[in-house]
Amino acid sequence: MEKSSLFPSGTFLFLLLVLLNVSASVAAPTPESVYTSFLECLTNYTKAQDQVSNIVFAQTNASFSSVLQAYIRNARFNTTSTPKPLLVVTPSEDPHVQGAVICAKSIGIQLKIRSGGHDYEGISYVSDQPFIILDMFHFRNITVDVENEVAVVQAGATLGEVYYRIWEKSKVHGFPAGVCPTVGVGGHLSGGGYGNMLRKHGLSVDHVVDAKIVDVKGRILDKESMGEDLFWAIRGGGGASFGVILSYTVKLIPVPEVVTVFRIAKSLDQNESATELVLQWQQVAPHTDHRLFMRLLLQPVSSKVVKGQRTIRATVMALFLGGADEVVTLMGKEFPALGLSKENCTELSWIDSVLWWGNFDNTTKPDALLDRDLNSASFLKRKSDYVQKPIPKKGLEGIWEKMIELGKTGFVFNPYGGKMSEVSSDATPFPHRAGNLFKIQYSVNWDDPGVELEKNFTSQAKMLYSYMTPFVSSDPRSAFLNYRDLDIGTNSFGKNSYEEGAVYGVKYFNDNFKRLVKIKTEVDPENFFRNEQSIPIHPGQ
């Protein structure tokens, strides 16, 4: 007896082929179809066809590559094999951002948000899924109100531009943020933001008093309309998990008319006790006068004493919010291993100290801070740790041996204490406050492309990170969100995994992770704003 069938065999085969084609088109939209659909949607939303066509760059546009590459700050993600966006959208007005969110969501495509491009892992402009970049570099307006001591700063402005615009209006105001002038405000502040005034004034987010954000529904919300929870989340929890930051309103801080900077280096091979310097640094840097920030750089370098050998150089870079005489006296009492004299010190204005920390020469004018230094990326890898107990002498000696063995990876130690110990760990999503002596950045840079070179240098960083396990925080082994590191965990695309998100989320946010998940679930229940290390939604959603 012949088996019955719902479809004749030819009809079934035809339908199967149709379904396969539909499935393939859904899984892999073509650049042309995405461009057409997105442009039509954005034009209908903004009612400005001519303007919209000038801010949407398809892969076939002659300017696509230059726009994409301009704000790539890590050359590892500027290769022919790096996945490219289907579109780059460069909004210049609020409705452009609102429309981009609504239209990307309507066609079911991922939206990556980039401000300055300094994301160490390229999360803001790379994805293995079909995606669009929303590049905020036109959002660079800064309004400084000296009388009320506030500034409204758009997300695409750079830190250098912020410092310059403040200096234009006042010589006795500043803002506590990073020392690299080309970093974008949106990512820096939404991840916490810190710089060389954190021991006196805390983090950048500790001075955010308002914000504007485009949410998943395309609405523009400020502090009042977004509510206490979302405002809390975007001050250290990473803005890209919750929406598109348009601007932050920040409180300015007072700076002295004269500040002091100094740089002192000692090597293991020159009868200079670099080890003693680091031992004393751990005892002094997190506990000294709150006005003093002493960054410690540790690097494996070629010996100047024994040809062909490697040694360790320890360099202290410092900013003191006061005069040279005072800091020399202070260090003579607290930090004799440093050997600081007045000849080592330079007194200058706060804005000139910004240039000094940015490695500009001493004849550079402040307007150099307006240079975005595009298309200048090197290859790099960064990782982070927190230290809660001083590393003993024997431990340091073992670390020196490991650094020399590996070859190139170095450390940046950033001292905490001061204001950082006075703010509650749950005041913002950034949890790493009291109890942390300093934060470690693992740092390796190289100049030439190549898979083997990249594997070699990134492996060095991973091996040094592994070696440091006994000396750093545990349960969790904490990390700093703005030193983005995919090695500590990622969330797979195509699903929302709370379990995967918790692996990196607890390291970045400690006990604040659960509150961030709750807020994420409430404001973006379909997980539209997502990336490899975004906040996941709550299980069951």
Question: How many whole angstroms separate alpha carbon 360 and alpha carbon 160?
Answer: 12
What is the overall mean pLDDT for the chain?
93
Taking only the tens place, the pLDDT of each residue in 96-123 is 999 999 999 999 999 999 999 999 999 9
pTM of the model: 0.93
Residue 19 clears pLDDT 50, i.e. is over it: no
Question: How many whole angstroms separate alpha carbon 41 and alpha carbon 105?
Answer: 11
How high is the pLDDT of residue 493?
Answer: 65
Residue 25 clears pLDDT 70, i.e. is over it: no
Residues 221, 497, 37, 155: is their CA dihedral positive or negative?
Answer: positive
In which band, very low, low, confident or very high, does the pLDDT at 309 lie, cut at 50, 70 and 90?
A: very high
Residue with tokens 């300017």: 63
Question: How many whole angstroms separate alpha carbon 482 and alpha carbon 74?
Answer: 14
What would the mean pLDDT of 526-535 be, rounded to a whole number? 96
Residues 104, 105, 111, 113: is their CA dihedral positive or negative?
Answer: positive
Active-site residue list: 483
How high is the pLDDT of residue 444?
Answer: 98
In which band, very low, low, confident or very high, does the pLDDT at 494 lie, cut at 50, 70 and 90?
A: low
Residues in the chain: 541
Taking only the tens place, the pLDDT of each residue in 221-235 is 999 999 999 999 999
Residues 6+ apart with CB under 8 A from 329: none
Start-to-end CA distance of the chain, whole Å, equals: 49
Taking only the tens place, the pLDDT of each residue in 362-382 is 999 999 999 999 988 999 999
Residue 24 clears pLDDT 50, i.e. is over it: no
Taking only the tens place, the pLDDT of each residue in 81-101 is 999 999 999 999 999 999 999
In which band, very low, low, confident or very high, does the pLDDT at 271 lie, cut at 50, 70 and 90?
A: low
How high is the pLDDT of residue 306?
Answer: 84
Find the DSSP H helices in 387-487.
393-406, 451-467
What would the mean pLDDT of 12-37 be, rounded to a whole number? 60
Q: Order across the sheet with 379-387: list the strands.
A: 345-348, 259-267, 310-320, 292-302, 410-415, 438-446, 379-387
In the chain, % of residues over pLDDT 90: 88
How high is the pLDDT of residue 5?
Answer: 37
How high is the pLDDT of residue 14?
Answer: 41
Tokens standing for residue 12: 């079934």
